[in-house]
């Protein structure tokens, strides 16, 4: 999936050619991507968490294998209530684009691309 640039290349002032590559490009992670998972409005977690995942991972596998082990650190989090306890969205700057999650939906289906932020809040 090609992302639409939000900024153009500005003029570069340098003493020679200067065009280094990104040190975080998706290609550096094989077939995986980095994704950020953000519990909006819960300060218990100081920041969104970053995970290296396969975009083909189903949401059910993501929930049990990635999400729950991390967020169980919050004593108020009850994994038994399932993912339905949250509203899920993709964060784009200050906007929240809602996404519908289900057990067989893959992260790629949800629109989670490299370094995207998958947010959630209490429903």
User: Site residues (CB under 8 A) for another protein?
Assistant: 2-7, 9-10, 12-15, 18-26, 28-29, 34, 36, 38, 40-41, 43-52, 69-70, 73, 75-76, 91-94, 113-117, 119
The structure tokens listed for 58 are 């189903």
Nearer to another protein, 10 or 98 (CB): 10
Are 120 and 108 a contacting pair, CB within 8 Å?
no
- In this structure, the chain runs to a length of 123
Nearest distance from residue 8's CB to another protein, in Å? 9
Q: Positive or negative, the Cα torsion across 24, 26, 28, 29?
A: positive
CB of 20 to another protein, least distance (A): 4
CB atoms within 10 A of CB 10: 6
Minimum CB separation of residue 72 from another protein in Å reads: 8
- Report the nearest approach of another protein to the CB of residue 55 (Å): 14
Beta carbon nearer to another protein, 65 or 102: 65
What is the distance between the alpha carbons of residues 2 and 11, in angstroms, rounded to a whole number?
A: 24
Q: Decide: helix, strand or coil at residue 33.
A: strand
């Amino acid at each position: 999936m090609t992302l639409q640039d939000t900024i153009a290349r500005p003029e570069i002032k340098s003493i020679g050619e200067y065009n280094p590559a990104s040190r975080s490009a998706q290609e550096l992670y094989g077939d995986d991507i980095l994704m950020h998972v953000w519990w909006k409005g819960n300060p218990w977690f100081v920041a969104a968490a970053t995970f290296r995942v396969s975009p083909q991972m189903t949401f059910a596998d993501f929930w049990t294998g990635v999400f729950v082990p991390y967020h169980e650190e919050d004593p108020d989090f009850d994994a038994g209530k399932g993912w339905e306890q949250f509203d899920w969205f993709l964060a784009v700057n200050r906007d929240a684009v809602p996404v519908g999650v289900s057990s067989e939906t893959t992260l790629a289906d949800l629109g989670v691309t490299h370094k995207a932020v998958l947010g959630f809040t209490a429903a």
